Amino acid sequence: MRFFLVDDDLAIRSILTQIIEDENLGEVIGEASDGEQLESTYLNMLNVDILFIDLLMPNRDGIETIRHLSGGFKGKFIMISQVETKELIGEAYSLGVDYYIIKPINRIEMISVIQKVMERIQLENSIHDIKASLSNILQIEPASSQTITSAPEKIITEISEFLFSELGIFGENGTKDLIDILYYLFMLNNNNVEQDFPSLKELFLQISKNKLGFSATQIEINREVKASEQRLRRVITCSLNHFASLGLTDYGNSTFENYASRFFDFTVVRQRMRVLEGDATHSLSPTRINTKKFLQMLFFEAKRIKESK
């Protein structure tokens, strides 16, 4: 990865450079002490992947600089600042900042944030590379009449991994079941799937049959259906906890705003936020997970990615 550092404090730029180089995260290909020195054409010419930018600078601050670069700069923004004002943090996220880090810099936190942004860039690049193949997904015949090929499966896996990263469940147990469900929905080749979404029973039954094969007994299939339901409930709960945590940390977080209310009922998210805050009364109440809503939104988002390319 290629990094560019913008901060009027030389010591901060030195610390960031040391972290990036020591951890072999990439190379720092440029620095600036103020936002007024930046132009999107210049940054793109340098192929900058990640731009670190301070909020408070003497001539053009971080917020104004991001506005100036918006629409032109192709990389990702990580903002660093001593300011913890909720309004400014929310504004930064609304302008497209991927992460907002509070000074003084914590080395472990910084490494974790950089790795997450790098992972997102790699996933987005994968989606960009396969956009030509995505246009053919919905033209594939139903799975019941043909053998599943590796190419469509790879495409859907890459789309799913991007969404899993956004939903906070990347690498969690149960995501393979979600990929299998997405693949089945795409293979239905039904333009009206939004209005005639399959039942949960049908989805679990189909992915269990596909996983076990034709030789599986009904007892084995029923056992796998139950196991798949449990795995999905756990992974969806994991995503709910992720959004509740984001909401507590920063209610204006762009990922929280974009996904939380679409994948979950807001009352459920709010209830989980109160549980994480230590509200004992809400911790005694059962969490009502709407599995079908989550799966519907996952499919709609995957399809939207396809249609936007």
Write out 225-256 in H/E/C secondary structure. Answer: HHHHHHHHHHHHHHHHHHHHHHHHHCCCCHHH
Average pLDDT value for residue range 108-124: 89
Other Cβ atoms closer than 10 A to 51: 26
Average pLDDT value for residue range 11-15: 94
Structure tokens at 178: 């979600």
- Give pTM, 2 decimals: 0.52
Is 69 buried (19+), middle (13-18) or exposed (0-12) by CB count in 10 A? buried
Q: What is the pLDDT of residue 211?
A: 85
Q: Kindly report, residue by residue over 166-195, the tens digit of the pLDDT.
A: 898 988 888 999 999 998 888 775 556 666
Structural domain boundaries in the chain:
2-121, 131-308
Q: What is the pLDDT of residue 172?
A: 85
| pLDDT class of 52 with cuts at 50, 70, 90 | very high
| pLDDT class of 136 with cuts at 50, 70, 90 | low
How far does CA 217 lie from the centroid of its chain?
Answer: 38
Is 240 buried (19+), middle (13-18) or exposed (0-12) by CB count in 10 A? buried
Q: What is the pLDDT of residue 129?
A: 65
**In this structure, are residues 28 and 21 in contact, taking their beta carbons and an 8 Å threshold?**
yes
Q: What is the pLDDT of residue 137?
A: 52
Where do we find the tokens 């039942």? 199
Q: What is the pLDDT of residue 162?
A: 84
The residue among 65 and 280 whose pLDDT is bigger is: 65
Give the closest residue to 160 by CA, choosing from 2, 303, 6, 307: 303
**In this structure, are residues 93 and 100 in contact, taking their beta carbons and an 8 Å threshold?**
yes
Percentage of residues in the chain having pLDDT higher than 90: 37
Separation between Cα atoms, residue 158 and residue 306, nearest integer Å: 12
Q: What is the pLDDT of residue 237?
A: 92
The residue among 134 and 153 whose pLDDT is bigger is: 153
Q: What is the pLDDT of residue 279?
A: 66
Quick check: 307 pLDDT over 80? no
How far does CA 90 lie from the centroid of its chain?
Answer: 18
Average pLDDT value for residue range 223-236: 93
Give the lowest-confidence range in 8-22, 134-148, 206-220, 229-243: 134-148
Sign of the dihedral defined by the CA atoms of residues 174, 180, 183, 189, in that order: negative
Give the closest residue to 295 by CA, choosing from 190, 167, 170: 167
Give the closest residue to 132 by CA, choosing from 306, 300, 304: 306
Separation between Cα atoms, residue 239 and residue 253, nearest integer Å: 15
Separation between Cα atoms, residue 179 and residue 170, nearest integer Å: 12
Average pLDDT value for residue range 106-134: 81
Sign of the dihedral defined by the CA atoms of residues 175, 176, 178, 183, in that order: positive
Quick check: 49 pLDDT over 80? yes
Q: What is the pLDDT of residue 141?
A: 45
Q: Does domain 2-121 have CATH number 3.40.50.2300?
A: yes
